[in-house]
Structure formats: C-alpha cells, structure tokens
Structure 1
Amino acid sequence: MEELTLAQRVAVWALPILFAITVHEVAHGWVARRLGDPTAMMMGRLTLNPLRHIDPVGTVLVPLLLLFLGGFVFGWARPVPVTWENLRHPKRDMALVAAAGPAANFLMALGWALVMRLAIALGDDLAWAAVPLIYMGGAGIAINVLLMVLNLLPLPPLDGGRIATGVLPGPWAWRLARVEPYGFFILLGLIATGLLGRILGPPVHALQGAIFALAGV
C-alpha cells in the first residue's frame, strides 16, 4: 500500500486512539463499580463519550506530535478516579481494576483484527471502503497492543505497577508503591535512553504479529 500523508495518518489513527484510550479508562471504572466503588460512575466517567476522558496533552498533543515525527504512537487519558477504601477487598481489587485496562486493550486489538479481516473480504470492488478500514484496523491493532504491553510494565503508576502491588506480599508491595512519585520520570528516562523500545519491542512485535495473522495479513 502507498505511503499515507500526514492528514491521512491523522484520519486513520484518530478513531483507534480515541477508542483505545477511552475504553481503557472506562474499563477501570466499570470493574471498580462492580467491586464496590461507585466513584467513577458518580463523576460521570462511565461513558464512551471521549470528551469526558480527553487529556489535552496525552490524548491530543502527544499522539499528534508522534504522528508528525513518524515514531510509534501512544497517548493517555485523564485517569478514572478510584476510591480504594470503597472496594470490598482493596488490595486484591485494586489489582483487578488495574488489569481491566490492558485487558480492554487486548479485546479491542482483536476487534480491530476482525475489522481488517472483513475489510479484506470486501475485495477490490469496494476498495473505497476496504482500504481505509484496513489502514484503520492496522492502527487499532498497533495502538492497543502497545498500550497493553506498556501498561503492564511493573512500574507504578502504570497498571502493571498497581497489579504488582496488589499481588506482592505486604513489605514488597509497600516498597514498590513508594516508587510511584518517580515512576513518570523513570519512564521518561527509559524513553530518552532507548531502553523502553528495547523492553517493549519483542512482546509488542510478537503479539502484533499474532493478531495480524488472525486478521489474515
């Protein structure tokens, strides 16, 4: 397929990014509600309306900048609030709430694979519809796999860090939780040194390859 212009890339990536980030956050709030915490629901965050979740920097500026630079694309939304004291089993349930986001991204990646497969089945006669859907499906798989693997890193405040603090014994969980104020800076350091790409690359490429195979690509 031909190389996309910047405007075409924005058009192709916009919907997958919005869905990936929005559904990720809603999944956190939905699972928290099921486990006893209605905070997200009370604040109107259990909605697929992206306007309720958009972070001007993480949802708009960073993805657009990365698209312009031609690098890998990721972003983030405003975190869904969770009041851990409301959860029935706070330590365990916080891990389940955290795991809901990456799980949602995995399911969305499979959904976009289905979109690609259906688009390929449309054939050349409906290329006007098939080609944009194939590009969009590929973007949806890529962004959701990347967000899932990134968020599973055991580094607070990423979801993987919260999962780890939920399953580790008390003293180890406490030590890991103390890293949270520095987690964002550690992540920036990993990006700046190129270590993040080396860490994420193998699992991202392996999982993307498996899902693209399911899509028949």
Structure 2
Amino acid sequence: MFDNIHIASVLVTYVAVLFSLSVHEAAHATAAYLLEDDTARRLGRMTLNPIAHIDLIGTVLMPLIGILGNVRVLGWAKPVPVDPNRLTRRFRMRVAYAMVAGAGPASNLVQSLVFLVALCLLIRFGLPVDPAQRGVVLMRSMYGSVEAFLAIPGLSAGTALALTLLGRLVAINIGLAIFNLLPFGPLDGASILRGFLPWRWLQSYDRAQPIIGIVLLACFFILPQVIMAILSPFYFVAENLYLYPLARLLLGV
C-alpha cells in the first residue's frame, strides 16, 4: 500500500500546506485587527506560527489523506475568533465581517502570485533547460515528486527542493483560494456572500448553512469526488485565465 509513497514529496507538500494555511489565518486575524477587533491578536492568532492554527481534521487528517492519496490537497485551519460587535462602525457589521472573511482567500491569491513569479524566474534563469521544456518543468514542480527532480543529473538537492516547494505553494494556494470562496457552511465564501445579501434572505440563508456544512464535511469522507466535481470548473478557469497565461509570459515561452 505504501510502496509508492515518496517521503520527501510528502514532507515538502505538507510544509507548503502548513505555511499556506498559517498565512491564510494570520490574514483573517490581521484584517480583524485593522478593523478594530483585537480578539484574535490577544489570543495569539495574528501569527505565522502553524501551531497556533492547527486543526486536527482540517490541518492534519485531510491534507495527509490528499497527499497520500495523490489528489488535490484540501484542508483548513482552526477558525480565527472574530467578535463582530467590536469591528469598526465605518462599515456595516456584516460587511466588515465579510472583509475579514475575504482576507483569507485574498492572501492565498497573493501567495500564489508571489510564488509563481519566484518559480518561473528560477526555471527561466536558474536551470539549464530548453525554453520549450520550461512549461513541463513548471507542471512537474507543482504536481510531480521531489524524487524525480533529485534523480536528474547535475541538479542539486537544494534546487530540486526549491522547485517542488515553490510549485506546491503555487498549486496549494490556488486550491485554497478556490475552495474557501465557495459559499458553503463554514467556508469564507459563505461569510463574504452574507455581507451583501438582502436582509430578507438572511434568515433562510443562516438556517441552511449548518446543514450545508455537515453535508460538505460528509462529502469529504464519503464522496470526495463530489467536492472535486464542484471545484473542477473553478480550477479550469483559474488555470486557463490566470496560471498558464502568466506562467508563459514569465517563462518566455
């Protein structure tokens, strides 16, 4: 069962997951603080230390299942506590809360951009590879194994680790942004959408969210293909309108 597990790839991918989730939660905490609620800061959540954000199921179990099962990694961290009553009155309460919720996915999009630029520059100027093969290296860094890069003659272990870590950070952050923007249950997208719904819809919307959250969690364990079917169109759009065009530009291909 475990013959095809690459330990180095598992570790690199999991480090990327922990870092991405930590930035995501720290962004929520920072946004709340900037909007005058210091609850998360007082509880030590405005930090990049992953220990402060770990959730047993979302940060440990689900990512490891995804990594070991060789599927797109999905996960979450311990929710950042936000007191809506303490948020600034410069905005309506639910709008301010939506801004806090949106800071998490926004941080993932920013991370994906930063790491994509770094990865493409490393491939273009740091590797002796034919320009026509740069796109292949990019995709392998995102989804291939560390061990495959380590087996390339003349490629140092440090460069192999840098390529795969940057690639994982790009792929995982795009996935986290898409996943968290879904308007379901406890996901950030539900809070963002709630901030702009008409008042007359809120009661029905709030009643439905706990049920949707239970169904979503059940699908993770019982029917993960349902989750991927929901996410696949969004991945297609993100990859073909954002990732690939920008990568081609940066790679010079």
Common fold: TM-score over 0.5: yes
3-state DSSP class of the match of 2:62? Answer: helix
Residue 173 of structure 2 corresponds to 144
* TM-score when normalising by structure 2: 0.77
Quick check: 1:96 aligned with 2:99?
A: yes
In structure 2, C-alpha distance between the alignment counterparts of 1:99 and 1:157, rounded to whole Å: 13
Residue 16 of structure 1 corresponds to 16
3-state DSSP class of the match of 1:54? Answer: coil
In structure 2, C-alpha distance between the alignment counterparts of 1:57 and 1:193, rounded to whole Å: 15
CA contact (8 A) 1:116 1:215 kept: no
In structure 2, C-alpha distance between the alignment counterparts of 1:137 and 1:205, rounded to whole Å: 21
Q: What letter corresponds to residue 148 of structure 1 in structure 2?
A: A
CA contact (8 A) 2:95 2:195 kept: yes
In structure 2, C-alpha distance between the alignment counterparts of 1:64 and 1:30, rounded to whole Å: 28
CA contact (8 A) 1:17 1:140 kept: yes
Instruction: Note the alpha carbon deviations across 1:157-208, whole angstroms, 9 max, x for none.
Output: 2111111111001121222122232232221355517332222112213313
Report the number of matched residues: 214
2:117 corresponds to which of 106, 114, 118: 114
In structure 1, C-alpha distance between the alignment counterparts of 2:14 and 2:239, rounded to whole Å: 19
Question: Looking at CA atoms only, which structure, 1 or 2, has the larger radius of gyration?
Answer: 2
Q: What letter corresponds to residue 15 of structure 1 in structure 2?
A: V
In structure 2, C-alpha distance between the alignment counterparts of 1:130 and 1:124, rounded to whole Å: 12
Q: Pick closer, same or farther for the CA change 1:44–1:145 going to 2, 3 Å.
A: same
Residue 135 of structure 2 corresponds to none
Which consecutive unaligned segments of at least 5 residues does structure 1 have? none
Greater shift in the superposed pair: 142-151 or 174-183: 174-183
Aligned-pair Cα RMSD in Å:
2.1
Residue 155 of structure 2 corresponds to 127
Q: What letter corresponds to residue 147 of structure 1 in structure 2?
A: L
How far the C-alpha of 1:72 sits from its partner, in A, is 1.4
Residue 205 of structure 1 corresponds to 236
Q: What letter corresponds to residue 105 of structure 1 in structure 2?
A: N
Which consecutive unaligned segments of at least 5 residues does structure 2 have? 130-153
* TM-score when normalising by structure 1: 0.89
In structure 1, C-alpha distance between the alignment counterparts of 2:207 and 2:47, rounded to whole Å: 32
Greater shift in the superposed pair: 202-211 or 188-197: 188-197
Instruction: Note the alpha carbon deviations across 1:85-127, whole angstroms, 9 max, x for none.
Output: 1112311101111111110010011111022113212114973
In structure 1, C-alpha distance between the alignment counterparts of 2:27 and 2:20, rounded to whole Å: 11
CA contact (8 A) 1:165 1:174 kept: no
In structure 2, C-alpha distance between the alignment counterparts of 1:140 and 1:205, rounded to whole Å: 18
Quick check: 1:71 aligned with 2:74?
A: no
